[in-house]
Chains A and B, each alone.
Chain A
Amino acid sequence: MIMALRRLAAAVALSALVTTACGNDGGDPATEPLAEGAVASEAPVTVTTVTAPVTVTAPAPVTASVVELVVVGGDLIGGSRQESVSLGEEVTVRVTGTSTDRVHVHGYDLFIDLVDGAGDLTFMAVIPGVFEIELEDSGTLLVRLEVT
């Protein structure tokens, strides 16, 4: 129950920015090399990706998500929470507030060095699983990011 409500809340909060993403859908992200979880700059030589015919069946897929985090005095406003994104999506973590800590996206092992409490990071969600996003030095858990 709680879970369902959370998901719903998360979905609303996600303010799912649908950027025009022609390149990346269709291609099975699982077959792409995991380039440190970062931007898929090196186009993989695998056959599938770009030339795949435009899929008409599925409803327009959400291809980008923004996770907005407001961190004040070492605490995430609203408390630690769960967010869900789709595998292969482009995820932006955007932090504002007053924290001087670093933000760590586990598993992908990416960091955001906050400057004046703010910073952001964009990466491709190519590893399925649940990943903690936390304040590195204090160890405060901000978000559990579920990539499905």
Chain B
Amino acid sequence: MNSRAGPRAALASVVALVALAASAAPAAAHGVGGRTDLPIPAWQLAWAASLAVAASFVALGMLWTAPRLAPAATGTPLARTAQRILPILGLMARLLGISALGLVIYGGLWGNQNPSVNLAPIAFFILFWVGVQIVSVALGDVWPSFNPFHTLADVWVRARAVFTGAPVMETVDIGSGSGHQWWATGAIFSFAWLELAFHGSDSPRSIGVYLALYTVAMVGGAAVRGRGWVRDADGFGVLFTKIGAMAPLYRDRSGIWRRRSPLAGLSVLPVEPGTVAFILVVLGSTSFDGFTRSSIWLDIVSNRSGWELTTVNTVGLVFVIGVVMAVYRAAIVVTARLTGNPETELANSFASSLVPIVVAYTVAHYFSYLVLEGQALYAHLSDPFGRGWDLFGTAGYRVNYTWISTEVIAWIQTTAIAAGHVLAVAVAHDRALEIFGPHRLAVRSQYPILVAMIGYTVAGLFLLLGA
């Protein structure tokens, strides 16, 4: 928002994608085109919405009067045995990350192009995108342990050190990053575009092309700008770090695992230029995904296909992200009027309070994919590329869609949105206390943000109605 690099980064990613994804065979729109959830019953919407709104106002009056999260952010170290075991797991995680990336790129590019027998769509859109988010909420920022882009960047930088004779450690440590998150914002937008706008999104080849490009961008960037590049520009990693900050576990700078109170990490989450836009792009993308399930959208895309469909989807995606951004912006402007603080400072301060809403949207929209469509991975294990193999005897497994009932899914969806809202309000409250000090001023400053959050929550629920 306050730098030119952002739009440029986003544009560059989109242009690159469009150029290369053109090779993908046209197939279904929407990442994983199997089953989507039924609309939730209207009474459940009313239930969750009123709970969220009521909780918000009760919270303002009754919540703590001094900041609590930041003091709890340091936490206490885990037992020594855990500290010893975790590095071993770390090595395994690296191997797993790099082999999974290799398998998905290979399968996408050269495997069977029928999306239902190729592992790429489910592995990428469900196991990785949804799975890692949910694991991060529970266990913290585990992605850096798996991140194959980090591993590749390491290997590259070390290999170069061997050939050029430069000392390894120095080379590995060069570059502390770009100091902004606009590249990450562009990266995550490119992913949202691939999943939600591009008409060939479930074609294994487009996933293979996308991930190959992404890998080149990460490793190439690290080669030029140093390892910090991956940390700053890997949109997935940036998102998982934010989500992981909600968890009761984290690794401190010296690599020691500590536990702390849930949400505490959000109070110390670094906010750089682009961070606010990043979070809102993710929120807007998920909202757009919900919106595309509505009958309004069905009328808009009616009979469109190919690039025409992609174009309409892209406009819709940008529009919904724009609306989500405008709502936040409006809340910040009003808060600034009320309190006299600079808008940028306020926008940054409250950004982390949106993270629980991001997670809630993810759970609400994708949880059923994880537990239902995700089962297909069990079969893909035996035949990852759709070549008729049966390595472990599981290739014949069929997804059991009755694992959880539609009622349970609906409850998980509404509860997630309501709970995400309550947590978001709590975090915002804590942030306000930290910025404004006196309780009364802090509470007053929160009203606009609260209204924006209620807006997100009610909108999120309406999107589940599918109406």
Contacts and interface: CB of A to CB of B under 8 A. Distances in A.
Nearest to A140: B305
Interface stretch (A49-57, A59-67, A101-109): A101-109
Contacts of A144: 298
Contact of A140 (B295, B303, B405, B406): B303
A137 to B, nearest CB: 7
Nearest to A31: B402
B27 to A, nearest CB: 6
Nearest to B116: A109
Contacts of A107: 34-35, 401
Interface string B337-370: 0000000000000000000000000000000000
Nearest to A30: B402
Interface stretch (A15-23, A76-84, A90-98): A76-84
| A-side interface size class | 35 or more
Interface in B126-149: none
B259 interface: no
Nearest to B372: A129
B38 to A, nearest CB: 6
B306 A139 contact: yes
B304 interface: yes
B91 interface: no
Does more than half of chain A's interface fall in helix, strand or loop, or is it mixed?
mixed
A130 B36 contact: yes
Given A34-B400, A79-B299, A139 B38 contact: no
A120 interface: no
A31 B28 CA distance: 30
A138 interface: yes
Contacts of A40: none
B298 to A, nearest CB: 5
B298 A130 contact: no
Interface string B104-139: 000000000000100000000000000000000000
B305 A139 contact: yes
A134 B298 CA distance: 13
Contacts of A140: 303-305
Interface in B430-444: none
Interface of B: 26-30, 33-39, 116, 199-200, 293, 295-296, 298-299, 301-306, 309, 398-402, 405-406, 466-467
Interface of A: 2-3, 6, 30-31, 34, 36, 74-76, 79-82, 104, 106-107, 109, 127-132, 134-141, 144, 146-148
The 8 closest A-B pairs by CB, nearest first: A79-B302, A129-B35, A107-B35, A140-B305, A80-B302, A3-B467, A75-B303, A127-B401
Given A6-B295, A146-B39, 14 more contacts: A2-B295, A3-B295, A3-B467, A30-B405, A34-B399, A107-B401, A109-B116, A128-B38, A129-B36, A129-B37, A134-B28, A139-B305, A140-B303, A148-B38
